Every structure is written in structure tokens, then in C-alpha cells.
Structure 1
Amino acid sequence: MSSPLRQLLDEISWEGNARKYRGGGIGKENVLTAEVFQLLDLLPRSHFLGPVLDDAQGVVGGHGSALGTDPEALSVSVLPGDLTTDGLQVRVQPDVLITSDSLFVLVEAKAVRRASFPPQQLAREVLVTRDRAEGRRAVHLLVLGAPPPVQVRGLGPLQMQDALTVGLDLLKDRVADRSTDGVEVLWTTWESIAHSVGTSLSAFTNPDPAVVGSVQRMGEALRTAIDIHS
């Protein structure tokens, strides 16, 4: 089953130099991210997005508990554009932002296969999360193809705390304040998201069969997207 997004990308791939999206951009992390998080935004949040967030596991500064509290109050922005630290020394492009009056989650999503981090990436994103949270709970959430360790370009597999330490050291000449206090670094996997959504689909009930049918279609589209991109 092909999604409208993949169909559109396949059409675009025949124009100019967008050939990497031929076939719908299968395997591209930005396509997978857009498909999955758009559907998580649209599905009933308490049943789907909330449990997905609560399944995240802690690496640095927290454990992910109750991350999905009051999910209907969350705002989900997919591919939101650039964000910087307060001093503009560091600029990143989040894959997703999940925010509320009390929560700021910067999401970095990696492809299911052959994904690696540039050496500074994790540190840069954590520092931006620290500054942009502005008093809210600050969370950097990684969506990975497999549990840690993560592949860091030129350094091989590293535990995420080690990858963060390496990146912060590489930024010492550019960023004076490299404290990550107050930022939680959490991770989940695409497989975990698919499993969580499947569990939620099995448990979802509603007196209106049209609502159930709609939720089932969106949930299966989400799981199909993860399967196809894997």
C-alpha cells in the first residue's frame, strides 16, 4: 500500500534533481518521519501518541515517565525548520517538535537502516533543546532503527552518553556554556512505535463503527509505513 506522500514524492522525483525520491523515498528518514508523525498527530492522542511517548527510555537526565501526560494539549510540528541556541552559535533542523505549555520535545529520527550520527549532532541538538525549552520540561527524543549503542560517523558504535560527551568536547571552541543540566535524552525505536500502535489498535473501542474504522485505517497506514521503510 502506497501513501499519498510517497506517491507525490515519486512524481516529484522525475523533475529536476530529486531522483533520490523515486519510488516514494522509501528508506528516507524524512519521509518515514513525516508519514508516521502526521498520523500520530491525527489519531486519538490519549490512545496512540501518549503511549508512544511513554514508551521512551531514558539515557541522560530522566526516564521518560509520564511524557505523554495530557496528550491532547500537545502541538505536533513535523519538519518545522531551523532552531538555534540563544547565542546562535548552534543551528539544527529538528525532525519533529512536540510542545505544550509545560513540555518541549525535540525529536531526531533516524532511518531504520544504515543510520549514523555526525560527531557533533547529539550535542548540538541537546544544547538547542536546553535553550528553546524556556522553562518547560526539556526532552531530546531519539527515534532509532535499533536500540543503542548508536553509530557515530568516524567513531563507530557509542553509547549515547559517550556520543554526547564527544560532541560537547568538539564544540568547546564555539560554545562557552555546554551544560546539559535539565535536558532529558530519551530514545525509542520504530519497531517500538509500531508495536505500541498495534497494541492501541487492538484495545481501541468506540460506539460508532465509523470512528473505529477510521482509527483502524490510520493505525494500519502508520504500521505499514514503518514496515515499508524497513
Structure 2
Amino acid sequence: MTTPGDLPRTPLSRLLDEISWEGRSVVKYRDGGRGKENVLTAEVLTALDYLPRSAYLGNVLRHAHGAAAAVACAADEAENAEIVFLPDEYVLSRTARGKAELIVQPDATITTPSSLVLVEAKAIRAGSFGPEQLAREYFAVTAAAGERTPLLLLVLGTAPPVAIRGRSGRFGVAEAVAANLEAVYAKAGPHPWPLDELRARVPESCAWLTWAEVADLVTAEHARGRHSGTFAAGTVDRLVGTVGRAVRWHG
């Protein structure tokens, strides 16, 4: 069986591997995966990976809401970023026999020399978070970052507040992350920060954007015409078009 670490790092190969585990529900992809967050994420991230990084990926990151210092750190190093769609899972705890027990499966990671961004994407039309999902992802990125600046970046269909399954009402991003943080901390493996610090640093480590904002930022950057008349102009035009079409079609 192929393990995530053995897979090529292209979004297409990782998307196909993910779909292969869907079983009977694979029929949901017959319409080209319309409305499926993984398909949308793969399409947009592929374009952002190949567009001029500072102008496009850096600009998108820089306009995320919240965690200004962490966002700026990632945006400033966009040219040197490694983008991995559906990366290897993060193991937060193991059983006594060493089997992975508590895991996090991000939609993507963006790694730069000084920053680690864990991307959690939701479908445009609908999407709620699992009871502990955001707390686990925040725990994972802050634990794995090491000397890098951690950032949990949510890409949403609509602006917060967000829904959490099993809880009534809607919540701001920081509130949603912190809601089950203590429970996750108690059962996950060791973390370099004490619980109080982990809770206090939620606002500086979590940010969000909507898919519509991503498309608008890419379109606005393209309209500035920085690459018009260059040898790469046609490529930039096509990649920018890919982002806009993907967001419109999946919405």
C-alpha cells in the first residue's frame, strides 16, 4: 500500500490517492468534483504555486485576517515557500503499541524558512468543523513549527463566525480554536508550550480568508499588469483565469 510519504508531491497525485479511499462515495466526484473542497483547493493551490510567488501567493497571504506578524512572516518568504497539498498526517498521540491514535490531516501546508502554515479549507457552499478539529490543527502546527513561526490559516466559504458540529450557535475563529483546546492538550503528546501559553497565543497564530477574497486578490494583482508584455504573460493570464474559474464553478 502506498503511504503519503511515498507519493509524488503534486496536488493531482495526492488528490487521486485521496479519492481512491472514498469507496462508494467516489460517485460524488462524477461532476468533476464540483463543490468538493479538496478539488477546489488543489486547483487554486496549483495555480498559486506556479504564479509569480511574491506578487500572488505573498499578496494573498498578506491579506489574511488576523495573526498579522505570522501572516507577514509567511508572505515575505512566499518566493521560497514549499506548498504541499494533502501532506503527511501529523500524529498527536499513539497507543501503547505505537499505533497512531490522534491524528491531524491538513488540506495543505506552506513551509518557508521562517514559517509553517497549516491550511484548512472548507467548501464554498457549506462547511462546519468537527468538535475538536481546529484545536487539533492548532496544536499540530504549533508543536511542529519548531523555530518557525506557526500559522493556522482557514480558507472559508463565508466570513466567520463558523459552525462547530454538535454545538449550537456560531463562533469566532479564536473562540472556535480554543473551545476544545484543553481536552486536546490532555490527550495529545507533549507540546513545547504549556497550556496557558498555547491558549494565550491563539490570536497570534490563527488567520482566515474566504475563497472569494482569494479570487479577488489574484484578479486585482493581475489587473496591475506587472507581467504584461513579458515572456511569462500568457502563462500568468492562464493561471489567473484558473483561479477565478475554479472559485466561481465550485461556488
SS in 1 for 2:71: coil
1:102-141: CA deviation from partner (whole Å, max 9, x where unpaired): 1100000011111000110010000000111011011111
Q: Give the Cα–Cα distance (whole angstroms) in 1 for the partners of residues 23 and 155 of structure 2.
A: 31
Q: Deviations over 1:81-121 (max 9, x none)?
A: 31123776641011111002211000000111110001100
When residues 172 and 218 of structure 1 are mapped into structure 2, their CA distance, relative to the original with a 3 A threshold, is: closer
Spell out, residue by residue over 1:173-195, the C-alpha distance to the aligned partner (whole angstroms, 9 max, x if none): 41375452556101111011001
8 Å CA contact 1:119–1:167 kept in 2: the answer is: yes
- The counterpart of 1:160, out of the listed 151, 154, 173, is 173
Q: Does 1:143 align with 2:150?
A: no
RMSD: 2.7
- Provide structure 1 residue ranges, at least 5 long, that are not aligned to the other structure: none
Shift of 1:66: 4.8
Identify which of 36, 40, 45 aligns with 1:37: 45
> What is the alpha-carbon distance in structure 2 between the residues aligned to residue 137 and residue 111 of structure 1?
27
Are 2:235 and 1:214 equivalent residues in the alignment? yes
Query: Would the alpha carbon gap of residues 131 and 158 (structure 1) be closer, same or farther in structure 2, given more than 3 Å must change?
Result: same
Q: Which has the higher helix share?
A: 2
Displacement of 1:209 in angstroms is 4.8
How many positions carry a matched residue from both structures?
220
Stretch moving more, 142-151 or 206-215 = 206-215
Alignment deviations for residues 185-215 of structure 1 (CA, whole Å, 9 cap, x no partner)? 0111101100100011111333645411110
- The 8 Å contact of residues 89 and 174 in structure 1, kept in 2 or not, is answered as no
Residue 136 (structure 2) pairs with residue 124 (structure 1): yes
For 1:114, what is the secondary structure of its paired residue? coil
TM-score (norm 1): 0.86
Percentage of identical aligned residues: 39
From 65, 71, 96, give the equivalent of 2:78.
71
Query: Is it true that 1:193 corresponds to 2:206 in the alignment?
Result: no
Q: Secondary structure at the match of 1:67?
A: helix
Q: 1:89 to 1:62 in 2, by over 3 A?
A: farther
- Corresponding residue for residue 92 of structure 1: 104
